[in-house]
Amino acid sequence: MKVNFNIVRQHQNTTPRVQTYTLEVEPGNTILECLNRIKWEQDGSLAFRKNCRNTICGSCGMKINGRSALACKENIRNEVDRLQKIANNSNNNSANTTAKSIPEITIAPMGNMPVIKDLVVDMNSFWQNLEAVEPYISTKARQIPEREFLQTPTERDKLNQTGNCILCGACYSECNAREVNPDFVGPHALAKAYRMVGDSRDSQIEKRLEEYNLDTAGVWGCTRCYYCNSVCPMEVAPMDQIGKIKQEILDRKEKQASRSIRHRKVLIDLVKDGGWIDERKFGIQVVGNYFRDIQGLLSLGPLGLRMLAKGKFPLTFEPSEGTEIVRSLIESVKKLDNTSTEIIQ
């Protein structure tokens, strides 16, 4: 079958352009195999990264039809099928027309990192943010190298998912929070951070949690957009690991510790009370810190006035139906989490 490959090309600090290459391919060919053929047969100047081609090195990360992925893992059949599904679900006639012609696969460099050339990006920020979470175990083993620090199979099993990370950069590339907040360390770093927090041999867990709790640079910078989970080729689920760190912090902190912590605790309390959120209380309790933060309360004034002017300020609050069921579900989940923790310990 014929496939058109639209490849975004550029040199550092230049305007990108799209160059199209046409190949006769087999449905089972990987995107990396096709890029190799383009480079070997049509254009030797095309630049991209690759290494082992066995979906474990993470070198060939790039954006394929708009999502970050490993070129060695994605194949022509899957991409064409995905495009066909998008076309079938679209009411746009032009999309259907495109689907019936020669399939087109668009390949671009990963996001949130500056381009060096073509599909090769500068990953310095990726590695620096990883280093910022101190991704190595802190134990007495450094002082006693001849001694083993053993784990039970259960303790080791806690590390299986995060241990699968191959640092390909796909989650970092898709992270909306990182795009708008350059201080946020990124999902890859925080997934690796939970690898340390969950390790029974680590002796610096409390110190780590304090560092990961630093405003929007740490776990509270995550906007829970789910993109990191959806693109991870190794099912590490970075957003889930960030959530686990948040829970470790919440278990140790009171509401007054920070606005981020209040936001989570107040949200749960209000849902338990009313089934949905009483927005009048939410602003006062989270932003105003229960009338303790005068500056925070004053910041709510302009918004409150605009809502009043437009008749959108809730003067009363009625609990939703089934509030008791919601409350019981929340309590059941808490009990289940506590039971799981006790079993692991």
Average pLDDT on 295-304 reads 90
Average pLDDT on 290-318 reads 89
Given a contact cutoff of 8 angstroms between Cβ atoms, the answer to whether 216 and 183 are in contact is yes
Residue 151: name the closest of 198, 84, 183 by CA: 198
The H-assigned helical ranges of the chain are 31-37, 76-88, 93-100, 124-132, 153-157, 160-163, 170-174, 176-180, 187-197, 205-212, 227-231, 238-252, 259-274, 279-286, 294-309, 323-344
Distance CA 16, CA 120 (A): 13
Statement: residue 345 has pLDDT above 60: no
Query: Do the bridges between strand 120-121 and strand 104-108 make them parallel or antiparallel, or are there none, so unpaired?
Result: unpaired
**Weakest-pLDDT range from 106-115, 140-149, 329-338:** 140-149
Given a contact cutoff of 8 angstroms between Cβ atoms, the answer to whether 298 and 289 are in contact is no
User: Where residue 97 falls among pLDDT bands split at 50, 70, 90?
Assistant: very low
Distance CA 214, CA 162 (A): 22
pLDDT averaged over the chain? Answer: 90
What is the DSSP annotation of 271-333?
Answer: HHHHSS--HHHHHHHHTSTTTT-HHHHHHHHHHHHHHHHTT-S-----PPTTHHHHHHHHHHH
For 26, which DSSP code? -
Distance CA 212, CA 215 (A): 8
Statement: residue 100 has pLDDT above 70: no
Rg (CA), the chain: 25
Average pLDDT on 152-161 reads 92
pTM over 0.95: no
How far from 201 is each of 142, 150, 184, CA to CA, in Å? 12, 8, 27
Q: What is the pLDDT of residues 50-60, one digit of tens each?
A: 987 565 789 99
Average pLDDT on 191-207 reads 92
Chain center to CA of 177? 9
Q: What is the pLDDT of residues 9-43, one digit of tens each?
A: 999 889 999 999 999 999 999 999 999 999 999 99
Q: What is the pLDDT of residue 341?
A: 58
Highest-pLDDT range among 41-45, 87-91, 330-334:
41-45
Task: Give the number of residues written for the chain.
Answer: 345
Q: What is the pLDDT of residue 141?
A: 58
Strands annotated E in 10-123: 17-24, 61-64, 67-70, 104-108, 115-117, 120-121
Q: What is the pLDDT of residue 138?
A: 75
Distance CA 302, CA 284 (A): 14
Task: Give percent of the chain above pLDDT 90.
Answer: 68
